[in-house]
Every structure is written in C-alpha cells, then in structure tokens.
C-alpha cells in the first residue's frame, strides 16, 4: 500500500492560493491572498509554523483565533478574509487532505464575525462631471506624435465607456472589438463572477469609440488578425510599439488618475477611481428615471439591495416632501 505523503500547512496554502488564482478574478485572488497571509501570521503567533507543521495539525479553532484579530479591519474586510479562510477549509475537504467539521467552522464564523452595516456610496459627482467634460475635449489640441493622439482618443473613449455603461474597470479592459453590436449599441461582456451580461452604449460613447478605432485602423490592419478578435482599448506606448496589445486594469486605473489630475488637480487623485464612474452611472439612472429595477438591471447588480444604497442620492420626492414640511 502506497504511503500517503504528508504536506505542510504552507504547501496546502500555496496550492489553495494557486487554485484561487486560476479560477477567480484578479481582484478576488488578490483579496484572498492578503487574507491567507494574515491567517498564516496568526498561525505563526500560535506556534504553528506553516513551513514545518503538517496540515493535519491545523485546528478548526484557528478560524476563531483569526476572527479575534480582524477587529482592526472594517467589518466588510473581516467578512472577506474569513470567507477566504473558510474556502481554504473547503478546499482541504474537497481534496481529501483533511476532513474538518465545516458546519462547526461556519458556526464559529457566524458567532464571531461582525455584520457589515449599510454604507452609502460616496463619490464627488460634480468633479466627475468636470472630468467627463475634460475627456470629451481631449482631442481638440495638438499632439507631438500619432501615439499621443491615439492615447487621447483612447482615454476619451475609455472614460466615456466607464461613465455611460457602468462597466467595472476589468470588464472594460477585456472588451474586444467583436463584443460590440454597433447597430444596436449593445455589448456582450463577461462580468463579475464570470457571468455573461449585456451593456448599453450611449451615442456619444459609440462616437468616441468609432473615432478612436478609425484612427487606429492602420495598426489594426497590420496586425494580421481578424478585427473582431482585437482588443477594444489598446496600449500606445514604446513597449507596445506597433503591436495591438490590450491595456491592463492597472493601466485603466492610471488613465483615470492621469486625466483626473489634469482636469481637477493632483490633490484629486484617489477621490475619483474607475469605480466612481460606476457609482455615477447608477445614480444618473436613478435620478433620471426613479426606477430602481431599471437601475439594477443596467448596473447588473445581482441583488437589488445593492442598488437601493443609491436611492438616497436621487430621491427627489423625499427632498420635496422635507422642504414642504420644514422649510415653507
């Protein structure tokens, strides 16, 4: 009979993090990695060095130790990190490495974890309006070279895409030319949780995209690839040269940082992120229509309670009612 190879906690952790990295989004993988690093530190404090302790020595109560040391974090972060560690126990069970009592671990989490309170989305709407207007005018000046012109055309289209579709930054960065139905003004994307979704594009957004792609036509044609397979937003730097390479989410964030700094000032960097444009989108839909279900569907929120967090920002009826009662 073949002897079962003993593995350490560290080896099991590395295998779990690798699995998460290959099956979940980049953001989820990063969050889980951060959570597992903190969990590892807690095990070390409890005299369970992960590099030498067999995984069979990992106790269920470690989740309680971990929860007790997460109170310095926001309740929502605490929940995310506990979910990551619970996923580790599930992974160990599925891989038949150890067989912890998952029901007991869930109970320990329920007893020890705080419930995150409802937080209203905060974002500088007026400043975002300024950034959008600035982006629209990005192509009105002169340029040192064609790459600079392409960057401005791309950044205008990118910012309008974020503002007018409500897409998350990683969704926008992964778009290909063939994902958009130019006649219908719609696009098929793979969104959060690997779920397929439909987004709508405004006329001004489609116009900006067409102008960008027209200016990029020579590069696209020289790529030797079908146009539909090419990335929608490409790099235009020395590293990319004349090749069509997709921008990363990091580049997407840098685009927003740069244009925010130019439009408002360096002090505004960080106050407006790519996700701020998603908040802007949902609030714009609600303030224009008052239709919560419509806003939910357009934003692709799985749970309407997420959309409801924005309702206080656009409920004109409540504002008028308050004015009539207290200010007349």
Given the residues 16, 32, 81, 310, select the one marked as catalytic.
310
Where does the pLDDT of residue 33 fall: very low under 50, low under 70, confident under 90, or very high at 90 and above? very high
Given the residues 112, 170, 275, 309, select the one marked as catalytic.
275
Given the residues 192, 204, 245, 253, select the one marked as catalytic.
192
Contact indicator for 89, 98 with CB cutoff of 8 Å = no
What's the pLDDT at 125?
Answer: 84
Mean pLDDT of all residues in 221-237: 93
What's the pLDDT at 118?
Answer: 55
- Residue-averaged pLDDT of the chain: 86
312 tagged catalytic: no
310 tagged catalytic: yes
177 tagged catalytic: no
What's the pLDDT at 3?
Answer: 45
Asked which of 81-85, 189-193, 203-207, 274-278 is least confident by mean pLDDT, the reply is: 189-193
Mean pLDDT of all residues in 43-60: 91
Per residue, what are the HEC states of the chain? CCCCCCCEHHHHHHHHHHHHHHHCCHHHHHHHHHHHHHHHHHHHHCCCCCCCCEHHHCCCCHHHHHHHCCCCCCHHHHHHHHHHHHHHHHHHHHCCCCCCCHHHHHHHHHHHCCCCCCCCCCCCHHHHHHHHHHHHCHHHCCCCCHHHHHHHHHHHHHHHHHHHHCCCHHHHHCCEHHHEECCCCEEEEECHHHCEEEEECCHHHHHHHHHHHHHCHHHHHHCCCCHHHCECCECCCCCCCCCCCECCHHHHHHHHHHHHHHHCCHHHECCECHHHHHHHHHHHHHHHHCCHHHHHHHHCCCCHHHHHCCHHHCCHHHHHHHHHHHCC
Q: Say yes or no to pLDDT of 149 above 70.
A: yes
Asked which of 88-92, 97-101, 118-122, 271-275 is least confident by mean pLDDT, the reply is: 118-122
192 tagged catalytic: yes
278 tagged catalytic: yes
Given the residues 301, 309, 312, 322, select the one marked as catalytic.
301
What's the pLDDT at 318?
Answer: 52
275 tagged catalytic: yes
Given the residues 151, 156, 168, 236, select the one marked as catalytic.
168
């Amino acid at each position: 009979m073949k002897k079962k190879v003993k593995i350490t906690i560290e080896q099991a952790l590395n295998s779990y993090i690798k699995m998460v990295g290959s099956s979940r989004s980049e953001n989820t993988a990063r969050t889980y990695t951060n959570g597992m690093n903190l969990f590892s530190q807690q095990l070390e404090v409890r005299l369970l060095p992960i590099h030498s302790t067999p995984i069979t020595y990992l106790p269920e109560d470690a989740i309680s130790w971990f929860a007790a040391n997460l109170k310095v974090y926001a309740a929502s972060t605490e929940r995310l990190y506990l979910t990551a560690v619970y996923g580790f126990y599930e992974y160990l069970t599925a891989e038949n490495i150890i067989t912890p009592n998952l029901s007991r671990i869930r109970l320990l989490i329920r007893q020890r974890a705080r419930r995150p309170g409802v937080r209203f989305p905060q974002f500088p709407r007026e400043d975002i309006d300024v950034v959008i207007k600035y982006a629209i005018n990005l192509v009105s000046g002169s340029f040192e070279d064609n790459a600079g012109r392409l960057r401005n055309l791309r950044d205008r289209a990118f910012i309008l895409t974020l503002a007018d579709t409500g897409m998350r930054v990683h969704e926008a960065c992964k778009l290909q030319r063939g994902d958009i139905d130019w006649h219908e003004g719609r696009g098929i994307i793979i969104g959060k949780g690997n779920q397929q979704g439909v987004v709508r594009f405004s006329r001004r957004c489609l116009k900006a995209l067409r102008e960008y792609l027209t200016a990029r036509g020579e590069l696209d044609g020289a790529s030797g690839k079908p146009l539909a397979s090419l990335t929608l937003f490409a790099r235009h730097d020395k590293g990319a040269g004349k090749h069509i390479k997709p921008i990363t989410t990091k580049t997407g964030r840098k685009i927003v940082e740069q244009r925010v700094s130019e439009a408002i000032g360096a002090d505004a960097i960080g106050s407006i992120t790519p996700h701020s444009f998603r908040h802007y989108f949902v609030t714009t839909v609600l303030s224009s229509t008052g239709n919560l279900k419509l806003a939910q569907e357009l934003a692709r929120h799985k749970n309407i309670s997420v959309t409801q967090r924005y309702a206080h920002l656009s409920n004109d009826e409540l504002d008028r009612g308050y004015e009539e009662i207290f200010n007349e």
